[in-house]
Structure formats: structure tokens, C-alpha cells
Amino acid sequence: MKRVHRKIVSGALLCGCALFTLYGASRVAEKSEKGALPVSLSGEGDELPVIVLDAGHGGIDGGCTSAEGVPEKGINLDILLRLRDILEVNGYEVRVTRDSDRSIHDEGVEGIAAQKSSDMDNRLAMFNESGNAVCVSVHQNQFTDPKYKGAQMFYSGSNSTSEVLARALQSRFRELLQPDNDREIKLCGKELFLCYYSDNPTVMAECGFMSNPDEAALLNTEEYRGKVAFTLFAGINDFVHRKK
């Protein structure tokens, strides 16, 4: 596989997070417990895309942490596993970059930097191996000022429909889970390697701020992570069944 040169970029912004009737935020728990919404294709013969999910970080790389020391990596993984189950119940083929707390670097690679590079290359390969895929990388955000909160979607510029996917996801977060969320979607740069170099429609979903005590506390509960997973599902499904 072609290796892409990466630069490690420092900064405080990130740490490295239709077919439905309108569901209010108060109904997300009920729907996520049922684990399914009806998926109806727009016509006979339509093919659902493969959904490729990535849980950011893993293994020695914990990602960002809350003030209480809870690492991002486990929150990302739990949301991914819940999202995978909902998608599969609704007829989607789902592939995941990891389903446990681990790095997916090549066997025999030594050194943290080399392992991280190999890990990211392997995640990117999974994102790009199918020509009919929708890719979502689950992350949590962090900022120096703890007042900031709310999900925010970063999208790839390499595929013209990534922005549409980002808007669908951001809209569902605002509608179902975070009605006061006024954050804007953003085009990712090279520092977001997996998002930037993906060929398929791709979004890095920063689901909340670990640096915000209230949001971090919510993300540390199974109930809220279930709501986040359902919200991501709703946005993905909106994107898949949008009017072309």
C-alpha cells in the first residue's frame, strides 16, 4: 500500500471525537433501546454501502482524557460497538478497524512512532479497500477552555459527498441530542490523516468534549453512549437514503 507522509501537528483544537419522522431528544433512549429503525431502500435493486467504522486511538494510545482521567479510547470503542449493532440490525454490512482495546499496527513493528504510523496506514487501507463505503471515525474532542462542548463533524475534501455526510450527522446531533449545539462542520486538514486521505465519503465525528466536565460525565455513562450511537446511525441512514 502506498505510504503517505504525515506530519504531527500540535494544537489545542483536537486531541488525537427523509426516512425518519422527527424524533425529539427525549425519545432517543427509547429508540436506541429498541436498536432499530425501518430501513427502506429507494427502489428495487438499490445496494446499501458498506459502513466502515473506526474507533479512534487504542492500545497504548489512549487519546485525550477527562479531568477524572478517563481515556477517550474506551468511549470511542463502546460507541462504535453500539453503532455497529444498530447498523447491522438494519441490514448494513459493517466493518470496523478495531473491536477491542488495541493498536492495529503490523506485526513486528517496533517503537511507538513506527507502530502509530503502521496503525494509521492500516486503518486508511480499510477505509479505501471498498469502492462503495461510507466511513466514520469516532473520536472525542478537547480544548484548553472547559466551557466548550458539543459534537462537531470534520469531513474529507477528497470525496465530494463527505460534506453532505457531515451535515447529516451534525443535523442529527442538533435534532436528537444537543439542541443548543451551534457548532459548524469543518473541512479537515492533513493533520487528520485518516479523514484527509480517505477516498470514500468520510467524517471524523468528534462526539463531545472530554475537557468539558458535564459532557465528559455524560460520555462516561452507557446510556448516553447509546444515545450517541443511535444519533450517528440516524445521520448515516439519512445520508444513505438522501435524494441524489
Please report the domains of the chain, with CATH numbers, ordered by start residue.
50-241 (3.40.630.40)
Q: What is the pLDDT of residue 202?
A: 94
The H-or-E segment that residue 78 falls in is: helix 72-89
Q: How far apart are CA 76 and CA 147, in angstroms?
A: 21
Q: Which amino acid is at 38?
A: P
Selection from 90, 66, 209, 84 nearest residue 136 by Cα: 84
Q: Which among 66, 242, 60, 84 is positioned nearest to 163, based on CA atoms?
A: 242
H helices, E strands: number in the chain: 7, 6
pLDDT < 50 stretches in the chain: 1-45
- The candidate with the shortest Cα–Cα distance to 153, out of 134, 143, 139, is 139
Is 104:124 a contact under the CB 8 Å cutoff?
A: no
- Read out DSSP for 183-217? PPPEE--TTSHHHHT-SSSEEEEEEEETTSHHHHH
User: What pLDDT, on the 0 to 100 scale, is given for residue 46?
Assistant: 67
The cell numbers describing 232, all together, are 450517528
Residue 201 pLDDT: 94
Determine how β-strand 94-96 pairs with β-strand 152-155: unpaired
Torsion sign across C-alpha atoms 122, 123, 128, 132: positive
Task: Please give the pLDDT value at position 65.
Answer: 83
